[in-house]
């Protein structure tokens, strides 16, 4: 009896838990796994109201915004709501020293003033379909992991290709779930004409900046608004003055009724990546190599970047998006390492692995099927450690850390196409570079890049052994005696890639000889050759890890079958999460409430700190309590709130819905105490931080005087 009880207790913690609010659930499986629990928690609709292929449903109002965020349709005229930090690149793209929309905000007063944003698109999910039965039979008897991967790739391309056909704005692919044991076809419709409608100033949209990032309590108006345009028939179309606002299948009604602690809430969006099935060896690798490298390297780079941003308004605009993108995951890594250690995640993972090994060894069939899963993973992680460290430094300091090296590396694909005489593909690649050229030169500061590049290359050589460096570093030392400032000066003055006219001339008639003789391209090419060598050296360990991980996940599912439902790791496919609006206790004798109000903005105000500046008009509105219809019952203006939803990167901008499917907020962050959440969910600590829709509407109406936008929304009072 004791053995049975022990097995049950340990097995419950072996897999991602559904206790409390955990779970990033696949939409086609809601009926089977979740609906009964959701109804008990306060959900008032049906599964078909969430996800339906044949009729309008909530999923038709949720979009992938840009490349890595979520947005939601909030009017029958294609209005899209997302986070300020998700729209940040578009806002920056339209900003200049004369019209600094990052600093001052932007509001179109009519559709004719909305700003086309080249390169920005939204994607609507059309359907997600289990196609495991079309792939799994072909894998029977296949023992080679490499051969297995090749079969999966071939069949996946065929399945997706049959769906996409010749439709130019359809995106289709097969997504692997549960460690490569299940397969789902995912189909999207892509709309490439998306225009900026409105955004508050950064003093509202990024209030608190790096200091408050990932923290609760929060007082940030993290939102921006765009509009989707289509052709006259409602089909996706590239930008044209003849395009019209999209009339969507569904748009979200907006509730001003608010909520109370304990109420049901749910999120639908596109979470990026989680690693809930990660082993103890992988957690140690994340702490000591991946996160440690990112923390050290990006910290130095960001300090240098910020020096120039604070000294020059032009540089501040040019590097706003670059700094924001870097610092977000830099602080995430700091918080994750802190939480992983404090919550003893490695110890917990080791206990799980010991139980799994005992379970697998207790049965001959299970031993044969799963017995080598953990040894394969452990061996692979140890084998790749040295190269992973070197790759991490090379990627962060050179390919990401130096703009000129990054730019030069972008030309390697064109170089290889030229060498292979692929004329038509060369033309396509050259055209793509021409389209990108204006954006690069607009946002490039030679002096800033000089300072950062020299520091990054020195940092790289100070931390990576000579035998693990690209061959070109031997030449740099012999010719420049390790003087990286001198080398970077030669590189920046000698490369044609920083001369707009020369680049344009080259792209009109590209030749390998031009790149062969360019000092920056030589450096980038040598770096990428080294990265490719690392990849080849790691191929066996990669295959070994893939096999071990697949078996481990399959074993965990079997071991816990019938105990509780499970979900696959996030992989940028649409998911749903739900839970209760509630505060939490971050540590002994401390409790955080579930909502913040506008009074907290003034409490945090610091005119001498750019992170906590408060616009004069906002301050006046708060001081006079001119809140309009957007208050709570007690007359206070809500700003942010938290609930126990399970989100990660990619969920930024996701709608927070009440039990009736009405919009009550937008998700924009996780909380500091549970930064280990991508690896291990913390039911007592983990909360997602959201912008209350009433504060969003207040800013649009009272601060921006853009009530015409609210008039096209469906408001539930």
Summarised one tens digit per residue, pLDDT across range 556-613 is: 999 988 777 789 999 999 999 999 999 999 988 899 999 999 999 999 999 999 999 9
b/e burial code for range 321-333 (CB count within 10 A of at least 16 → b): bbbbebbbebbbb
Annotation marks residue 85 as catalytic = yes
Residue 133 known to be catalytic: no
CA gap 705, 698 in Å, rounded: 10
Q: Given this model, what pLDDT does residue 564 score?
A: 76
**Per-residue pLDDT at 405 exceeds 80:** yes
Q: What is the pLDDT of residue 664?
A: 98
Which pLDDT value is given to residue 562?
77
Average pLDDT over residues 535-555: 97
What is the overall mean pLDDT for the chain?
95
Average pLDDT over residues 301-317: 97
Whole-number pLDDT of residue 167: 87
* Mean pLDDT confidence for 177-201: 98
pLDDT band at 13 (very low <50, low <70, confident <90, very high): very low
What integer pLDDT is reported at residue 284 of this predicted model? 98
Write down the domain spans for the chain.
17-273+577-716, 402-537
- pLDDT band at residue 2, thresholds of 50, 70 and 90? very low
Q: Which residues contact 342 (CB under 8 A, 6 or more apart)?
A: none
pLDDT for the residue numbered 565: 79
pLDDT in tens, 26-53: 999 999 999 999 999 999 999 999 999 9
Domain 17-273+577-716 belongs to what topology?
Thrombin, subunit H (2.40.10)
Binned at pLDDT 50, 70 and 90, residue 14 comes out as very low
pTM, 2 dp: 0.93
Q: Model confidence over 278-297: pLDDT tens digits?
A: 999 999 999 999 999 999 99
Catalytic residue among 402, 652, 654, 676: 652
The token duo for 182 is 């299940």
pLDDT score of 530 more than 50: yes
Residues above pLDDT 70, as percent of the chain: 97
Active-site annotation holder among 182, 222, 538, 646: 222
Give the number of other CB atoms < 10 A from CB of residue 24.
26
Q: Token pair of 122, please?
A: 């939204």
Partners of 122 in the β-ladder = 65, 191
3-state helix vs strand vs coil in the chain, percent to 5: 50, 15, 30
- Token pair for residue 390? 């070197």
Q: What is the pLDDT of residue 10?
A: 41
In 3-state terms, what secondary structure has residue 668? strand
* Burial profile 345-362: b = 16 or more Cβ within 10 angstroms, e = fewer: bbeebeebbebbbebbee
DSSP string, 602-661: HHH--TTSGGG---HHHHHHHHTT--TT---TTS--EEEEEE-----TT-TTPEEE-TTS
Continuous segment of H or E residues that includes residue 508: helix 500-508
Structure confidence at residue 5 as a pLDDT band (50, 70, 90): very low
> Between 423-442 and 412-419, two packed helices, what is the crossing angle to 10 degrees?
160
pLDDT for res 43 = 97
| 3-state helix/strand/coil string of 98-113 | CCCHHHHCEECCCHHH
Residue 479, pLDDT > 50, answer: yes
What percentage of residues in the chain have a pLDDT greater than 90?
A: 94
Residues 48 and 59: their CA atoms lie apart, in Å, by 10
Decide if pLDDT at 17 tops 50. no
- The confidence band for 1, taking pLDDT boundaries of 50, 70 and 90, is very low
Q: Please tell me the predicted confidence (pLDDT) of residue 6.
A: 40
Residues contacting residue 99 through CB under 8 Å, at least 6 positions apart: none
Q: Are 620 and 702 in contact (CB under 8 A)?
A: no
State yes or no: pLDDT of 11 exceeds 80. no
Alpha-carbon separation of residue 440 from 235, 406, 459, 460 (angstroms): 31, 11, 25, 25
- Tell whether the model's pLDDT for residue 7 goes beyond 90: no
User: What pLDDT does residue 3 have?
Assistant: 40
- 88-136 pLDDT, tens digit per residue, is 999 999 999 999 999 999 999 999 999 999 999 999 999 999 999 999 9
Average pLDDT over residues 344-362: 97
Q: Convert 460-491 to b/e letters by CB count within 10 Å (16 or more is b).
A: bbeebeeeebbebbeebbeeeeeebeebbeeb
Q: What's the whole-number mean pLDDT along residues 373-385?
A: 98
Query: For the CA atoms of 442, 448, 454, 457, what is the dihedral angle to 10 degrees?
Result: -60
Catalytic-residue membership of 652: yes
Report the pLDDT averaged over residues 142-147: 95
Q: How far apart are CA 231 and CA 228, in angstroms?
A: 11
How large is the greatest C-alpha to C-alpha distance in the chain, in angstroms? 80
Query: What does the pLDDT look like over 443-477, one tens digit per residue?
Result: 999 999 999 999 999 999 999 999 999 999 999 99
Gap between the Cα atoms of 296 and 293, Å rounded: 5
Catalytic residue selected from 52, 60, 85, 692: 85
């Amino acid at each position: 009896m004791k053995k049975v009880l022990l097995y049950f207790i340990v097995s419950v913690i072996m897999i991602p838990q559904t206790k409390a609010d955990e779970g990033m659930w696949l939409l086609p499986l809601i009926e089977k796994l979740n609906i009964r629990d959701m109804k008990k928690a306060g959900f008032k609709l049906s599964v078909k109201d969430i996800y339906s292929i044949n009729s309008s449903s909530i999923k038709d109002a949720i979009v992938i915004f840009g490349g890595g965020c979520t947005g939601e349709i909030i009017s029958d005229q294609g209005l899209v709501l997302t986070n300020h930090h998700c729209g940040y690149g578009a806002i920056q793209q339209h900003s200049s020293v004369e019209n600094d929309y990052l600093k001052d905000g932007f509001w179109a007063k009519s559709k004719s003033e909305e700003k086309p944003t080249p390169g920005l698109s939204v994607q609507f999910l059309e359907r997600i379909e289990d196609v495991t039965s079309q792939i799994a039979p072909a894998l029977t008897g296949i023992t080679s992991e490499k051969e297995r991967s090749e079969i999966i790739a071939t069949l996946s391309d065929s399945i997706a290709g049959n769906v996409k056909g010749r439709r130019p704005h359809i995106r289709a692919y097969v997504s692997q779930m549960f460690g490569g044991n299940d397969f789902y076809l995912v189909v999207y419709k892509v709309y490439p004409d998306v225009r900026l409608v409105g955004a508050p100033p950064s003093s509202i949209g990024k209030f608190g900046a790096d200091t408050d990032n990932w923290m609760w309590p929060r007082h940030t108006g993290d939102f921006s608004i765009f509009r989707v345009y289509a052709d006259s028939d409602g089909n996706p179309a590239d930008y044209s003055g003849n395009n019209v606002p999209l009339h969507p299948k569904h748009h979200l009604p907006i509730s001003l009724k608010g909520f109370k602690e304990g109420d049901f809430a749910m999120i639908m969006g596109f979470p990026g990546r989680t690693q809930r099935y990660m082993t103890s060896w992988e957690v140690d690798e994340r702490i000591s190599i991946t996160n440690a490298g990112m923390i050290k390297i990006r910290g130095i780079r960001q300090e240098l970047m910020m020096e120039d941003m604070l000294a020059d308004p032009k540089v501040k605009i040019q590097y706003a998006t670059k700094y924001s993108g870097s610092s977000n995951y830099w602080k995430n890594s700091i918080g994750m390492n802190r939480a992983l250690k404090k919550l003893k995640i490695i110890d917990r993972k080791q206990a799980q692995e010991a139980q799994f090994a005992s379970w697998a060894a207790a049965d001959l069939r299970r031993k044969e099927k799963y017995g080598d899963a953990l040894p394969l993973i452990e061996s692979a992680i140890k084998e790749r450690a040295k190269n992973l460290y070197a790759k991490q430094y090379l990627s962060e300091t050179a390919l990401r850390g130096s703009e000129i090296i990054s730019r030069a590396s972008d030309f390697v694909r064109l170089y290889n196409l030229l060498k292979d005489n692929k004329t038509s593909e060369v033309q396509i690649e050259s055209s793509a570079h021409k389209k990108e050229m204006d954006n690069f030169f607009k946002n490039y500061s030679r002096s800033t890049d000089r300072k950062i590049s020299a520091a990054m290359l020195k940092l790289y050589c100070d931390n990576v052994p000579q035998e693990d460096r690209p061959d070109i570093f031997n030449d740099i030392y012999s010719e420049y005696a390790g003087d990286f400032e001198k080398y970077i000066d030669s590189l920046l003055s000698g490369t044609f890639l920083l001369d707009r006219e020369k680049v344009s001339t080259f792209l009109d008639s590209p030749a390998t000889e031009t790149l062969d003789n360019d000092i920056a391209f030589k450096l980038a090419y040598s770096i990428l050759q080294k990265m490719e060598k690392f990849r080849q050296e790691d191929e066996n360990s990669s295959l070994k890890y893939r096999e071990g991980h697949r078996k481990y996940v399959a074993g965990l599912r079997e071991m816990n079958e019938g105990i509780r439902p499970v979900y696959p790791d996030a992989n940028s496919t649409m998911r749903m999460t739900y839970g209760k609006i509630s505060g939490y206790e971050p540590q002994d004798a401390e409790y955080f409430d579930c909502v913040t109000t506008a009074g907290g903005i003034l409490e945090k105000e610091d005119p001498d700190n750019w992170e906590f500046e408060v616009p004069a008009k906002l301050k006046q509105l708060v001081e006079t309590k001119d809140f309009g219809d957007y208050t709570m019952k007690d007359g206070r203006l809500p700003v942010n709130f938290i609930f126990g939803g399970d989100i990660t990167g990619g969920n930024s901008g996701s709608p927070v819905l009440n039990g009736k499917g009405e919009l009550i907020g937008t998700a924009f962050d996780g909380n500091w105490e549970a930064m280990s959440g991508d690896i291990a969910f913390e039911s007592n600590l983990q909360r997602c931080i959201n912008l209350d829709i009433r504060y969003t509407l207040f800013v649009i109406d009272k601060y921006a005087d853009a009530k015409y936008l609210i008039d096209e929304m469906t408001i539930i009072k």
